């Protein structure tokens, strides 16, 4: 099981969209070098207001480009990085991965998946209705969040479009991803 990196993005400021780069550097225990969310403790403004000493479980945001394809098919014009992700992937079902999955990006970067991204209303600032389009309901009526996953950097390194993604599942029993 694996996939490929299709885009890498970062922003030094707290804006929804992140500019695409030729490469980004992941820093162990911190996140994406030069991104507003880099750090050992939380950087997302809503979480900082609640408790700035919380560990940063959202150092890297990964999103599957298949979601972009689905959104475009329903009329939303979205591009990699525009929805706040740092790493855009293809060929890997990020949402079905269990908590603790390790993703090797390229030759050296290692990210551990901590949970689901909880879509926020800022997505509606890109396109009206975009937040709702990233949410769904399963057969039991439970909310399904489709806006990617979050992770922490275990080993640093450069990540570029075209890099392969190798998946290492945690030991069973697997824990289903929850929002972080």
Domain-by-domain residue ranges, the chain? 2-168
| CA gap 59, 61 in Å, rounded | 7
For the stretch 114-152, pLDDT in tens is 999 999 899 999 999 999 999 999 999 999 999 999 999
Residue 141's pLDDT is: 95
Return the pLDDT at 85.
Answer: 98
Kindly state the average pLDDT of the residues 56-64: 98
- 46 pLDDT more than 90: no
Render pLDDT for 145-176 as a digit per residue (tens, 0 to 9).
999 999 999 999 999 999 999 999 999 999 99
| C-alpha triplet 139, 168, 61: angle, nearest 5° | 65
Mean predicted confidence (pLDDT) in 7-15 = 96
CA angle 42, 43, 47 (to 5 degrees): 65
Q: Is the pTM of this model over 0.85?
A: yes
Shortest CA distance to 7 belongs to which of 115, 120, 105, 147?
105
For residue 105, give the nearest of 125, 132, 87 by alpha carbon. 87
Q: Does the domain made of 2-168 have the CATH classification 2.40.33.20?
A: yes
Specify the DSSP class assigned to residue 124.
Answer: G
154's tokens? 């275990």
Max Cα separation, the chain?
42
User: Mean of the per-residue pLDDT values for the chain?
Assistant: 96
Which one-letter DSSP state was computed for residue 160? -
How far is residue 147's CA from residue 119's CA, in Å, rounded to a whole number?
6
């Amino acid at each position: 099981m694996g996939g490929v990196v299709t885009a890498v993005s970062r922003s030094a400021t707290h804006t929804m969209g992140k500019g695409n780069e030729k490469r980004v550097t992941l820093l162990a225990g911190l996140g994406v070098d030069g991104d507003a969310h880099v750090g050992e403790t939380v950087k997302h403004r809503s979480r900082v207001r609640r408790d700035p000493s919380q560990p940063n479980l959202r150092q890297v945001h990964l999103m599957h480009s298949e979601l972009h394809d689905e959104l475009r098919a329903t009329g939303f014009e979205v591009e990699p990085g525009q929805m706040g992700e740092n790493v855009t992937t293809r060929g890997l079902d990020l949402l079905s991965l269990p908590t603790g999955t390790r993703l090797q990006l390229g030759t050296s970067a290692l990210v551990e998946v901590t949970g689901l991204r909880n879509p926020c209303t800022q997505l509606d600032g890109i396109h009206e209705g975009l937040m709702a389009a990233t949410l769904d309901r399963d057969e039991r009526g439970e909310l399904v969040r489709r806006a990617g996953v979050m992770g922490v950097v275990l080993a640093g390194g450069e990540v570029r479009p075209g890099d392969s993604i190798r998946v290492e599942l945690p030991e069973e029993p697997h824990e289903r991803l929850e929002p972080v």
